[in-house]
Every structure is written in structure tokens, then in C-alpha cells.
Amino acid sequence: MESIALKERHNSADEARLVQMLKALGNPVRFGIMQTLAERQMCITQEIVETTQHAQSTVSQHLKVLREAGLIEGEFEGPATCYCLSQTGMRWLKEQIEGWLPGCCEPGTGVARIELKSVSVEQVKGAGQRGGGRGCCH
């Protein structure tokens, strides 16, 4: 009986989405892109390419994987695409991990605690003002 329950659990849409997100984050290049977007709050493709050792076509493929996983969003701005972290996707990922590991990593437990920085829409729009007026993704 227990093995049937495990099979059913692994076929849920939420688990498939979580696996897709974690696989996307498991690649060092994509993880680096996520770090860049978290730090800068938004970037056009060329800015992201400049932070890697890879060709634009390779970076574009990595961006596609992150976008399909629901981790980032992209908006066309003329000939360029502007990317930012998906607040909805990141919030969902955080909730899934907290639900998957309830009570884990709380302060005072002796286990490292990772904080996911929350960014408001106003902060992202404000960042667009300093970036040449680009206010993409929100």
C-alpha cells in the first residue's frame, strides 16, 4: 500500500513543477543567472551574457529553461528582452520547500537558515528608474 501512495504522490502537478524548478536551479550557469537577477532585480539579455563565460545563444537557452520553470519572467523592450525573478514563482517555490521541510532550519535549531529576499513591486520599478528608465517585468 505504501508504494502505491508514493507513486501517486510523485505524479502530482505540484511535485512535477517543484522538480522542474529544482532541476533548473541545479545547473551552475542558471544558478548564477538567478543570483545576478536577485542582485540587480532586472537585466536585459546582454547584461546577463556579460556576467557569464558563455555565448549569447547558450545564455538564451538557460534563460528559456528558467522561464519555463516559472522562476523568471521576461518582457520585450524593443529589440531586447528584460528579465527579472518571478515573484509568483519564487514565492511558490519558497512555500513548497517550507511545506516539504516543515520546522526545518528555524533559528536556534543549530541548522543553517537560508533567507529568500522578498522584493516589492515598488523596489523593482524603482530599480528600473536607475537603469535608464526600464521598468520591465512589473
* CA nearest neighbour of 92 among 23, 9, 18: 18
The answer to whether position 120 is within a domain reads yes
Helices (H) and strands (E) in the chain, counts: 7, 3
- Return the CA Rg of the chain: 17
Q: Is 69 among the domain residues?
A: yes
In a domain, 136, yes or no: no
Q: What is the pLDDT of residue 48?
A: 93
- 30 C-beta neighbours (distance < 10 Å), count: 21
For strands 80-85 and 72-77, give the pairing.
Answer: antiparallel
**Distance separating the N- and C-terminal Cα atoms of the chain:** 47
Q: Would 108 be classed as within a structural domain?
A: yes
- CATH (domain of 117): 1.10.10.10
pLDDT at 123: 42
| Whole-angstrom distance, CA of residue 88 vs CA of residue 73 | 10
For residue 26, what are the domain limits? 2-130
**What's the total number of domains in the chain?**
1
pTM for the full model?
A: 0.69
- The C-alpha atoms of residue 53 and residue 118 are separated, in whole angstroms, by 28
The confidence score (pLDDT) of residue 122 equals: 41
**How do the pLDDT tens digits run along the chain, 138 residues long?**
444 454 455 568 888 999 999 999 999 999 999 999 999 998 898 999 999 999 999 999 999 999 999 999 999 877 889 999 999 999 999 999 888 777 776 665 554 444 445 444 344 434 443 344 445 565
Q: Which residues contact 138 (CB under 8 A, 6 or more apart)?
A: 84, 121, 124, 125
Using DSSP's 3-state secondary structure scheme, residue 79 falls into: coil
Residue 137 lies in a domain: no
Q: Residue 78's pLDDT is what?
A: 79
Residue 85 within any structural domain of the chain: yes
pLDDT at residue 107, as a whole number: 63
Residue 138 lies in a domain: no
